[in-house]
Structure 1
Amino acid sequence: MNRSSWRGMLLWMLLYGGIAEAQTGDVKGRITDKWDQPLVFASVRILNSDKAAVSDSLGNYVISDLEYGSWIMEATATGFKTARSKFNLQKEESRLDILLGEVDQELEEVVISGTMKEVSRNDSPVPIEVYTSKFFKANPTATIFDALQNINGVRPQLNCNICNTGDIHINGLEGPYTMILIDGMPIVSGLSTVYGLSGIPQSLVDRIEVVKGPASTLYGSEAVGGLINVITKRPGNVPLLAADVFATSWKELNVDLSAKLRAGKKATSLLGVNYFNYQHPIDNNQDHFTDVTLQHRVSVFNKWDVERPENRIFSLAGRYVYEDRWGGEMNWSARYRGGDEVYGESIYTSRWELFGTYQLPLKETLLLQFSANGHDQNSVYGNIPYQANQKISFAQLTWFKTIQKHELLTGLAYRYTYYDDNTPATADLNNVGWNKPARTHLPGLFMQDEIALHANHKLLLGLRYDYNSLHGNIVTPRINYKWSSFDRKHTLRLSLGNGYRVANVFTEDHAALTGAREVVFTEDLKPETSWNANLNFVKKINVGAAFLGLDATLFYTYFTNKVIPDYDSDPNKIIYDNLKGYGVSRGVSLNADLVLPNGFKALIGATAMDVFNKENGMRQRQLFAERLTGVWTLGYTIPGVGVKIDYTGNLYGPMRLPLLSDLDPRSAYAPWWSIQNIQLSRNIGEKIEIYGGVKNLLNWTPAKGSPFLIARANDPFDKEVQFDAEGRAIATPDNPYGLTFDPSYVYAPNQGIRGFLGFRYQLF
């Protein structure tokens, strides 16, 4: 072969080699669930490469320019199990269809709230309800507080017609009996039970776990009625950039932004910002007061996950919330703040939080969890100022150990609470004009043993000891039993437990702050105690391609030393005292989860309950506790169009309300009422989702059928009210019902029908 032939062959080999090395192809396919319904906005990525895509409205995806060779594809979607598939790309176009199994139907979600350790929901001996971010998208809201309205047995309760603050009721029990956790940390407590719930951006939530019934054995005080654990998203599982923005016809604007950041190869961060603005006073019920509180809120959240040897955990998160809210007479402005000329309730809230988890570098599994938060509140209620500062620090060390059939958990906890305000609660009685801030130390020790009696039987025993620096020793035991059938389609759980709560009136009860009534303590308040029993039964039914899940619970809670605000004895006072008798919360709840082959899904729940107190032989229903409640979330995606319809709503039965006098013309019981919403949503391309709809379709407000909501709205400073020798208001021609100004007659949102429109954007 001559020299020119060698040169030609060498050139051909180089060119061919370059072409071969550069050969690429496309992989495409369809992502579906087990009913062959397309999964919209599912994400796929090629491991060990930068190739990724998102499925469209028909579940289709395309990844282009992928080099020939063997690869592993990972597919994920909210509410579904992650799937990995190996494939070999050897041609210009290859097809790979992926089927994802739903964790919601198989009850395989990982939960931690019941036992403080990760376990599948089906295996947990403690009944836990799990709601993913996908569930809350059916009715988009600006806060977690509003989002909970469609969970069975859980009701956001407004406590003031003017400033629209509220708390969370579980099975009819008031907000102070509900513990709110963020990533397992007791962040939302004390002052924030009134003003801190509105600062949690919904877009950062991965899921919410709900435990109904006492959880004091693991979590201490405040977890008497149950707990709500807000689990935030892991930085490694979020998009590079995401936005969720919506506005309403009431000129409300909510903006959620998030971004994933990396610092080196081992640290990943999630940065989230929430902005909410409503500055358009509306007075549809014509009482000259704002129907809805005006708000201006900014919340910044940052969470870090750090990779460590042997997959040990280290996460650190922080949040800062600033909110300026006011409600009152329509002509109120900041220049009237604190005066007695024009009535307004104005609250400035500044709040910071820091919390994290660190797994010790030891052979044994030891986790150190820690948190700290500070809450500074500058507020006025008419001409009554309320200035409060609260700081809480918390640390907990837990040790997990498995010995044969025993899964052991031992923990040491310590909680310090500092509280100072300008009320008599922290006044120094020995030095007039000086304050004596309350400082509470709460060390605790808890132990738990989860015993696998048999493949189908589990027994959990738990015991906690706390020492409260003000109230002394407190012991709370619990026992849980779980049975499941071999096919895992039937599960029975029995729970018995003890709970306790140390009441702090001024941080928990908005009515105690407003100055509309005098606050009276008949004695030093003792800790409340409760005993609770729950019987839970879960059944899964498959009929052909259809699925039905049933979850039924009987519950009973017995209280002693219950602290109850007495609004009835004197219309000008709130009298606080420990109940000399007992209180009871009992009832039954049922959840039904239905999935049909045509893509229709429904989650329907109902709770019937009886909540009452008995003292001196007299039985009385608890205020603001409905006998019957129902919720529903219905969803259907129109085939071929890609438009999803979500219809959500709730229904509440009558509840007892506080009246001011025998002449008060308002009803002593609320009527049946319902808030219903509808939403249409559709994906546009791979990155954008458009949604919109109508909230409160029935245009229902509590003002309908009632002569007024706010008592003496025309005289908010009681300047024209006449009183008798005992301080009771007298009926006069100008005040025919003998009332004083009071905004506590409230049981439901006062915001009528409104449209909303928004979009979501994700960049992977």
Structure 2
Amino acid sequence: MKQSKTLLFSLLLITTGILNAQNNIIRGIVSNNKIPVSFANIVIEGTTIGTSSDENGEFELSNNVDGSYKLIISAIGYKTAYVTVKKANDNGNFIKINLIETSESLEEMVVTGTLKAVSRSESPVPVEVYSPTFLKQNPTSNIFEALQNVNGVRPQINCSVCNTGDIHINGLEGPYTLVLIDGMPIVSGLSTVYGLSGIPNSLIEQIEIIKGPASSLYGSEAVGGLINIITKNTLQAPKFSIDGFATSWGEYNLDAGGKINIGKKTDLLLGVNYFNFDNIIDNNGDNFTDLTLQNRISVFQKWNFQRNENRILSLAGRFFYEDRWGGELQWTPEFRGGNEIYGESIYTARYEVLGKYQLPVKEKMMFSFSYTDHDQNSVYGDTEYLAKQRIGFSQLTWDLTKNNHDILIGSALRYNYYDDNTTATAEDDGTNNPDKVIIPSLFVQDEISFSEKHSLLLGMRYDYDNRHGSIYTPRMAYRWKINDNDILRLNAGTGFRVVNLFTEEHAALTGARDVFIEEELDPEQSFNVNLNYLKKIYSDNGTYVNLDFSAFYTNFSNAIIPDYDTNPNLIIYDNLNGSAISQGISSNIDVVFNNGLKVLLGATLQDVTNTDEGIKKTQILTENFSATWNISYNISSIDLSIDYTGNIYGPMRLPLLSDLDPRSEYSPTWSIQNIQFTYKGLEKFEFYGGVKNLLNWTPNKGNPFLIARADDPFDENVTFDANGNAAVTPDNPYGLTFDPEYIYAPNQGIRAFAGLRYRID
């Protein structure tokens, strides 16, 4: 009996030991100078095992890792910490982790510059990083509006009726900006205009921005820069979150997201965005809507699968549908496509799929793919625009390290399909011929580390387009780490954009102008040089300063420039017989004070010109200077934070219809400013509210009108001369036609907003 008891006791001890080995429990608290850091990420190095801290900074992590291992603790706005755990802690013990506060994401991991995960300060390519905290400082219903406070980046509205637009980087037009989701080219071509709406902000981990050509890694469209939207993984995402706000204009936006565990090896990330604006407003009295009415829904899913040796397997998809219209106040859907009441009505449906699969081999090889299907049914007055675009993309990369060489070898295949009911896909005999292009690519880059302070990245990409032949895009990036607080980077390279004209410029349909293509267009090419200097300053009183200074120069050949000036009834497209140059300097200063005040200031001076046939002109709709700011102050004693954000833009040349057009040729200096108050005194809740566009600035100020001949949108009372130009008559003293393209700033005035956030981790 005694032996049986001894045997039973021994078995219990062995079983307990096995269970403990299989389910080690690590508990701890993450703080910054004894102030809890909420929602910090805690991950075991080299695994997918992790968790996040709660509102009080505390965490608990169960794992089955034997022996010692390293914890990686990261949080937005703090330096990443590393803690070695030698053995499992008893349930009653805490690991105390103190994070050091930094400025905006200086040590965050970035992948956009080199297709490899490196810390931002170690990347040879300058990459700007913007976190969810940045997005919350000025809540918006879409990424397009959220980028208005990023230095050197400007959302450009291209139509005062339908309110569609694109993103300008360093003064370059929207077609030169490539937008990606998790590194895959989801938004390009036709999607540039509509695809930036409906990405749930609750699922965004960070936004990475490169200013300057990146075609050697990403191919066509990445001529002027790119924006990479990184979504959360299941370790970082909350179990459930919801964020909703409303404005005094009658806008309603709802973001909801969460994660679901499906079995032991599968996690699902789900996000939904819904936006509605159904309030007809005409504050400037032109009988046209000041803001397009919209009804939009977007559903996003991301599946993560655990595999042997922590290999990556993920699959994501998004569905997007939007119904938007703007026009005369009397317009209803029954007038859609007719010539009685003018309206611009756009139905957009998009499907997106993207995934990553790490091959089951010893080498680090990754297969990535994406596919988008964009279907658009739109009318602009009595002009119908029906378009379909499909983009398929696949990429295989091999990441290897040998001695002091960090090498990436890759191949890509891109398929573009585009069809519409315009001259863009019409043959000379009038038959329809959809545009189908397959572009295979090969690329290689080698980052050579000469020492801890000096590294050189060399890259080359080869693309073949059967319309244009072989295209080569080399790049070079040199990084000199002078010391831990001073980094100098020099980047140079080329970019290209294959002809994909009407998919970006179809805003021409929104006016009374016709499109005229002078000749068969050649691909655009660019050469860029960028010098970047990063300086970090730590003061004795705890204040932290980050200075980021850049000088840039980009020279375009074969640039395709829309000509609005030669004929007021046409938009003429032709390869520039000369050069287009974008050059300037840009600087950001990021300061974190020890009293809870944070300041991010940015300014850009630029000169963007086109020289054609020896005649030099400033590029249309391009400002010569701009500045942005984000100022935040946290009053911890009453759980209140204050955010003051804004931007200011210098004059830009605007598209006039004739020499008699009474509207200003140049915009004035203008500014959009916002203020927000956020209360965090209740667990899991945040209440926020404030005022947008404090100065009540709208582009109609100082102009007799914005929309030319808004009272005659079908030009029924316009008399045309023998050359097709509008003649001066008593009813038309300026010789104008209907045109809504004179727009450079949001036409939405001052408004209050209020919202609520709720989060469960």
In structure 2, the CA distance between the partners of 1:213 and 1:738, relative to structure 1 (3 Å rule), is same
- Given the alignment of the two structures, is residue 499 of structure 1 paired with residue 498 of structure 2, yes or no? no
Q: Secondary structure at the match of 2:631?
A: strand
Q: TM-score, normalised by structure 2?
A: 0.91
- The residue that corresponds to 2:641 in the other structure is 644
Say yes or no: does 1:684 pair with 2:677. Answer: no
Deviation readout 1:570-624 (Å, 9 max, x if unpaired): 1110010000010100000000010111011011000000000112221100011
Counterpart among 730, 745, 750 of residue 748 in structure 1: 745
Contact 2:528 2:554 in 1 (8 A): yes
Counterpart contact for 1:387–1:422, Cα < 8 Å: yes
Within-5 A mapping of 1:565-714? 565-714=562-711
Distance 1:739 1:440, change over 3 A: same
Quickly say closer, same or farther: Cα 1:389–1:48, change in 2 above 3 A: closer
Residue by residue over 1:45-98, the C-alpha shift from the partner in whole angstroms, topping out at 9 and shown as x without a partner, is 999999986326xx7x699xxxxxxx999976433336769796787xx88764
Q: Which amino acid aligns with 2:716?
A: K
Aligned counterpart, 2:54? 54
- Give matches, 1:187-586, under 5 Å: 187-430=186-429, 432=430, 434-486=431-483, 488-544=484-540, 545-586=542-583
Q: Which amino acid aligns with 1:704?
A: K
Cα distance in 1, alignment partners of residues 632 and 28 from structure 2: 25
Distance in 2 (CA, whole Å) between partners of 1:619 and 1:292 is 35
Q: Is the deviation greater in 498-507 or in 305-314?
A: 498-507
Distance 1:133 1:156 in 2: 19
Secondary structure in structure 2 of the residue aligned to 1:54: coil
Amino acid of the structure 2 residue aligned with 1:55: E
Q: Distance in 1 between matches of 2:440 and 2:700?
A: 47
Instruction: Show the counterpart of 2:132.
Output: 133
Give the partner amino acid of 2:171: G
Could you tell me how far apart the structure 1 residues matched to 2:323 and 2:134 are? Answer: 30
- Seen in structure 2, the aligned counterparts of structure 1 residues 205 and 159 have a Cα distance that, compared at 3 Å, is same
Task: Out of 223-232 and 611-620, give the one that drifted further.
Answer: 611-620
Deviation at 1:425, TM superposition (A): 1.3
Displacement, 1:732? 1.0
| RMSD (Å) for aligned C-alpha atoms | 2.7
Percent identical pairs in the alignment equals: 57
- Aligned residue for 1:236, secondary structure, equals coil
Quote how far apart the aligned CAs of 1:37 are: 5.3
Question: Counterparts in 2 of 1:149-164, with a 5 A limit?
Answer: 149-164=148-163
Q: Distance in 2 between matches of 1:40 and 1:107?
A: 19
Q: Which runs of 5+ in 1 are unaligned?
A: 1-26, 64-70
* C-alpha distance 356-79 of structure 1, shift in aligned 2 (>3 A): farther
CA distance in 1, matches of 2:423, 2:535: 53
Residue 12 of structure 1 corresponds to: none
Q: What's the secondary structure of 2:605's corresponding residue?
A: strand
The Cα of 1:557 is off from its aligned counterpart by: 0.3
Correspondence 1:57-206 to 2 at 5 A: 77-80=75-78, 81=80, 98-102=97-101, 104=103, 107-206=106-205
- The one-letter code of the counterpart of 1:521 is I
Runs of 5+ consecutive residues of structure 2 not aligned to the other structure: 1-25, 61-67
Kept in 1, the 8 Å contact 2:103–2:592? The answer is no
Report the number of matched residues.
727
For residues 149-169 of structure 1, the C-alpha deviation after alignment (integer angstroms, 9 at most, x for no partner) is 111000000000000000000
Give the counterpart letter for 1:699 in structure 2. N
8 Å CA contact 2:76, 2:108 repeated in 1: no
Whole-Å separation in 2 of the counterparts to 1:365 and 1:546: 41
Deviations 1:664-699 (A, max 9, x none): 011110000000011111113321111111111111
- Determine if contact 2:103/2:544 at 8 Å carries over to the other structure: no
Match of 2:723 in 1: 726
1:327, 1:739 → 2: CA distance?
21
- Cα deviation per residue 1:17-59 (whole Å; 9 max; x = unaligned)? xxxxxxxxxx99985435x655456689999999986326xx7
TM-score by length of 1: 0.91
1:256-291 per-residue CA deviation (whole Å, 9 max, x = no partner) reads: 111201121111110001000000010001110000
Name the CA shift for 1:28/1:756 in 2 (closer, same or farther; >3 Å).
farther
Cα deviation, residue 454, structure 1: 1.4
SS in 2 for 1:483: strand
**Structure-2 residue corresponding to 1:7:** none
Structure 2 CA distance, aligned partners of 1:45 and 1:466? 39
Q: SS state of the match for residue 319, structure 2?
A: strand
